[in-house]
């Protein structure tokens, strides 16, 4: 297995690469390693005025299992969603926490996500109250249809609440998860852009008791703008638990799902495929178990047609907002 690391030392790799290739960097200590370009420090214009910013290589050439970097591993701009060197911002994020007082531990989840996302280039708006169905629909509609959304390359919505198999529970009723996604699927400014949803709530009322393992010995380019996209394209929905099952939350440490996601993101030191991060989150949550022996597994479904990289160490945007009850 290849472990992807971002290395920052300098001169040790010259003898192992062809002279015609760029300077790759090598680990100071021996590990299962890959070699990638070091980011350059620039003073960004437009998106983050007056701040220094790491300018990552657009698509880092991760090494093959032999340890040699390969240009075949590079991704062209047509294969990825985010252009880190674009004048447009990486993303807008909306983090919503419903019924905090009744959901002990959710305040930590909420604050950890709000603190995490700006470091990945997201402008964050947050809602930490108990809206009615109508108020939540207004929050989502306003966020989806803002005129400034054209300045973003993607968006992320995180909703933390009680839930049932198909719905989010609000103060006075339920709102289907599909209706949440529909606000963004049908918004013109998000067509062709990645739409990311994290639903941190129960997905039903059943307890997953797990299964015993039986071991066997053998065992956004111009061409795209001119094309017609199917409804619901470029979407990723991540659920805290599989359909029909509850999701677990510690009253002091927060939920298994959100805390696993935050922990995996904080470990990143190079651009990483979001689906790879989610896979690690699923494994981390699957390894947990309640005192009564209950288990949990997140799940996801999507229609992403390109790779969505998360880029760590982005300077926090000065336009990251705090909004409560303003919709």
Instruction: State the Cα torsion 16-21-23-28 to the nearest 10°.
Output: -30
Q: What whole-number distance in Å separates Cα of residue 76 and Cα of residue 39?
A: 18
Q: Where are the alpha helices (DSSP H) in the chain?
A: 106-116, 133-145, 177-185, 222-226, 256-266, 274-286
pLDDT for res 59: 52
Which pTM value belongs to this model?
Answer: 0.70
Q: What whole-number distance in Å separates Cα of residue 38 and Cα of residue 55?
A: 9
Q: What whole-number distance in Å separates Cα of residue 237 and Cα of residue 239?
A: 7
Structure tokens of 16? 């192992």
Q: What whole-number distance in Å separates Cα of residue 197 and Cα of residue 158?
A: 6
Q: Give the distance, in angstroms, between the CA of residue 133 and the centroid of all CA atoms in the same chain.
A: 26
Structure tokens of 165? 């198999």
| Chunked mean pLDDT (size 10), the chain, 327 residues | 43 42 44 42 38 49 38 69 92 89 85 94 90 91 92 95 85 89 90 93 78 55 59 92 89 93 94 96 95 93 94 65 41
pLDDT for res 74: 62
- Helix/strand/coil (H, E, C) string of 60-75? CCCECCCCCECHHHCC
132: phi > 0 → left, psi -120 to 50 → alpha, else beta; which? Answer: beta
């Amino acid at each position: 297995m290849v472990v992807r690391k971002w290395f920052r030392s300098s001169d040790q790799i010259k003898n192992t690469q062809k002279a015609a290739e760029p300077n790759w960097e090598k680990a100071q200590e021996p590990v299962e390693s890959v070699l990638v370009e070091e980011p350059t420090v620039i003073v960004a214009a437009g998106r983050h005025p007056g701040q220094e910013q790491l300018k990552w290589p657009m698509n880092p050439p991760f090494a093959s299992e032999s340890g040699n970097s390969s240009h075949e591993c590079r991704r062209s701009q047509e294969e990825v969603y985010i252009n880190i060197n674009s004048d447009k911002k990486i993303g807008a994020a909306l983090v919503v926490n419903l019924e905090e007082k009744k959901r002990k531990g959710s305040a930590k989840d909420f604050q950890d996500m709000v603190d995490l996302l700006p470091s990945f280039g997201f402008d964050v708006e947050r809602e930490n109250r108990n809206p009615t169905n109508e108020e939540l629909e207004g929050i989502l509609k306003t966020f989806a249809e803002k005129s400034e959304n054209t300045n973003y390359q993607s968006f992320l919505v995180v909703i933390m609440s009680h839930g049932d198999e198909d719905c989010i529970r609000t103060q006075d009723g339920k709102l289907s998860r599909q209706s949440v996604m529909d606000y963004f699927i049908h918004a013109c400014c998000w067509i062709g852009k990645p739409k990311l949803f994290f639903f941190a709530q129960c997905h039903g009322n059943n307890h997953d008791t797990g299964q015993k393992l039986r071991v066997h010995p053998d065992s956004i380019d111009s061409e795209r703008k001119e094309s017609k996209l199917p409804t619901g394209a470029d979407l990723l929905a991540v659920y805290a638990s599989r359909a029909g099952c509850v999701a677990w939350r510690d009253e002091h440490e927060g939920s298994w799902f959100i805390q696993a996601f935050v922990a995996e993101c904080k470990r990143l030191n190079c651009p990483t495929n979001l689906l790879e991060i989610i896979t690690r989150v699923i494994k981390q949550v699957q390894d947990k178990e309640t005192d009564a022996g209950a288990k949990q597994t997140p799940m996801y479904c999507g229609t992403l047609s390109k790779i969505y990289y998360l880029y760590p160490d982005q300077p926090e945007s000065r336009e990251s907002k705090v909004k409560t009850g303003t919709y």
